[in-house]
Amino acid sequence: MSPIIIYTVIALTSLGIVAAAILFFVAKKFYVKENPKIDEVEEALPATNCGGCGQPGCRAFAEACVNAEDLSDLFCPVGGNETMQNVAKILGLEVEEREPYIAVVRCNGSFEHRPRTSNYEGAPNCTIAANLYGGETGCTYGCLGLGECVDACDFDAMYMDETTGLPVVIPDKCTACNACVTACPKNIIELRPKGKRDRRIFVSCINEDRGGKRDCEVGCTGCTACEKECKFGAISFIRHLAYIDPEKCRLCRKCVDVCKPGSIHEINFPPKKKKPPKEKVAAKEKQIEKLEAEVENPNVDKLVVEKKNIDVLKKSSGISDDKDE
């Protein structure tokens, strides 16, 4: 073995030992004392660093949790209740269960519903387009369709539907981190409670003008029919736009029925039964029987009249003649 190699090995090894010694003492001397619980809490967090909690990242949130005296103001929307329970366990604190939220797109102005009146050729960025003008359609409130919310989503929970030109939220992936809400320059996306059995009712329109239907077939016209229909006072109007307060809404779906343009959306509800409640049908059937019995009467003039009545009754109660079909 040539002496050069031996010298090199000896020199480098001793250098290494010296450096290690220095590092060891420096590390001891300048050791930063940190609450070990911060590491533990961080471990329990989802580590997405999305900022949905309002902190710059998961580490900062962990620090905030450890320093906080109670956890009522802190919530990790991504981890949800389960994560917060774990965090609370580590810190020995109590935490209340929160209702899970989900992002909701409040615009239904698809290509089909909202005709284009101009053509935007600028930079494909919603904020830039929104600074320039109201958008390609007559509605100056609606979705611009350039997908800034989709870009902002860290969880692949959104995509642009090519056929409608509107963003779609994938419920299973959405963590309600608020990124899309802040990204949208038109404030279309809202975080709403997921609702019982994932059922939600919301106004899918943010057009505050009177007669929003002029620009979009499914726009809220501001007719206030839903406000009058709602027994729980959950619907209020901002200028000419209905808003359903999710806390007051009991999901009765009456507003959905009265909304003529169909701006109010229901999600995950079973399809509505066409037939009215049973007793009413029974009562009407009785009436029909009675009338039919009367028709047996040979009075011809009456017959014509009564037959009409039977038809009307049948129609109104949803009883079909061709039951066999």
Contact residues: another protein, CB under 8 A: 117-118, 121-123, 125, 127-128, 131-135, 140, 209
d(CA 203, CA 108): 10
Minimum CB distance to another protein smaller for 117 or for 299: 117
Pick between residue 204 and residue 207 the one whose CB is nearest to another protein: 207
In the complex, the smallest distance separating the C-beta of residue 222 from another protein, rounded to whole angstroms, is 12
Q: Nearer to another protein by C-beta: 16 or 211?
A: 211
Q: How far is the CB of 103 from another protein (least distance, A)?
A: 21
Closest distance to another protein from the beta carbon of 110 (Å): 19
CB of 180 to another protein, least distance (A): 16
CA quadruple 191, 192, 195, 200: dihedral sign: negative
The 8-class DSSP code of residue 187 comes to -
Q: In sequence order, which residues have a C-beta less than 8 Å from that of residue 157 and are 6 or more positions away? A: 103, 169, 170, 173, 174, 175
Q: Who contacts 258 (Cβ-Cβ below 8 Å, separation ≥6)?
A: 225, 226, 229
Helix, coil or strand: residue 316: helix
CB of 126 to another protein, least distance (A): 10
Q: Which residues contact 182 (CB under 8 A, 6 or more apart)?
A: 152
Pick the closer one to another protein by CB: 15 or 132: 132
Dihedral, CA atoms, 37, 41, 47, 49, nearest 10 degrees? -80
**Closer to another protein by Cβ: residue 177 or 249:** 177
Using DSSP's 3-state secondary structure scheme, residue 206 falls into coil
- In the complex, minimum distance from the CB of residue 73 to another protein, in angstroms, rounded to a whole number: 22
As to burial, measured by CB atoms within 10 angstroms (0-12 exposed, 13-18 middle, 19+ buried), residue 164 is middle
Nearer to another protein, 88 or 153 (CB): 153
Distance of CA 287 to CAs 298, 308, 321, Å? 19, 13, 16
Which residue's CB is nearer to another protein, number 59 or number 210? 210
Which tokens sit at 197? 């059995």
Q: How far apart are alpha carbons 98 and 135 in whole angstroms?
A: 37
Cβ 96 to another protein, closest distance in Å? 32
Q: Which is nearer to another protein, 46 or 134 (CB)?
A: 134
Residue 65, φ and ψ in degrees, nearest 5: -65, -45
* Helices marked H in 211-277: 225-229, 254-258
Residue (72 or 131) nearer to another protein, CB: 131
Q: How far is the CB of 213 from another protein (least distance, A)?
A: 15
Residue 211 near residue 221, CB atoms below 8 Å: yes
CA distance 241 to 80: 32
